[in-house]
Structure 1
């Protein structure tokens, strides 16, 4: 069945300061079951924002940071994210480190797990879509994408935006399942911190990582930007992942075998 003949429906909401879209293909994509699943995705993401937003004074994260809330008394997911942040720091040899990051409002050093929370929250919320049997779906949160295609449906085509030309694409991937995550300077400037200097990383314009889980694809992309152009050998060691890197000079490099279309 071709993409053109599949019924489809899309929804978009602004959550976590990002456009979040859900695209569904398959029989009756506007059914009550599908609409309930999509709304559950958005509700999960709004809840994650309420718990972990560094911008909201009433978030569990900020209550905890001010010493007003013990981690054990916070939302049940709070301790899970703290554990994942430490695991991410270990997996990336310290290049992903949420400690001592500048507060997005004041610039004061603080603990900020935002670089992990989005991928984690989107991956968890996608569980609602996996319950929609017979439908293919794409969940896109500000350019970080998680997809699933049914066996008799076409693969999804995911464009990798050119960091110097938002209207242009560096590459188009075909994916049946899994994640595509991009970190870099195109949309938020030099916001990723080099943990060895405490200064914004500037040697890489963008890194796109593909893999089975958005949580880790996003973490690895962020760590790669912090690490700089020398990250390619490290990216090559990540089993099940592939990457495309654009240096500050515009040089494009890929891991072996590169972010090729998935089978």
Structure 2
């Protein structure tokens, strides 16, 4: 699969932000594409393009004629612009795409149906939602496909997003849910870390030591989940002695309904993702 990509495929990123760079970095590091097969476009930020060219050796452009040529030549076009720029960019793209090009959107809230409406032609379209941990190769991406995407194309897309973490094929109806869990999820963890660090400081540790204690506790717990393959419930029980310190802390969390709070928060994030998607739909129509 990788050899096939190297021989035949070119990929063009329409947008040059952090997520585009994360994917570029991943596919080059994994050998899925060579630098000469990758191009990155944006509207006007020459400094950003210079950074990407210098660091990765990829082709970059914000010059209109060259952008059109790179878009026309690409086998895969990754739509990585900001949501507010999506309508104009896709309308512009309509004149330059071929029927056999695969469009991959990492634009939050933009549905496959909306993409098809904006480009006005029948096209293989992929909707993907990576999270910010993709920038260090530890991301989670939910991928949904239109009916036009072939099995071979799906394998290529899977390899692209597997280069920046794990990639799951999901029904498009689940995109809001994966956004609420994995897309926003890192922020929930950071919030919990903030609270634990503040509590450690109240108990007399310096900020530096408190941060170190919490970070390594978090890393150790994550490693236990991954390496032992035991469910979180069992690992929690293993740490919790009757009437011990852990049990005392967990009693407070249970009394204050922490599980319910977390569940309600994720449900609210899912609902908000749906709302944002509908807002984008309304702006298109």
TM-score, reference length from structure 1 = 0.29
User: Looking at CA atoms only, which structure, 1 or 2, has the larger radius of gyration?
Assistant: 2
Normalising by structure 2, we get a TM-score of 0.28
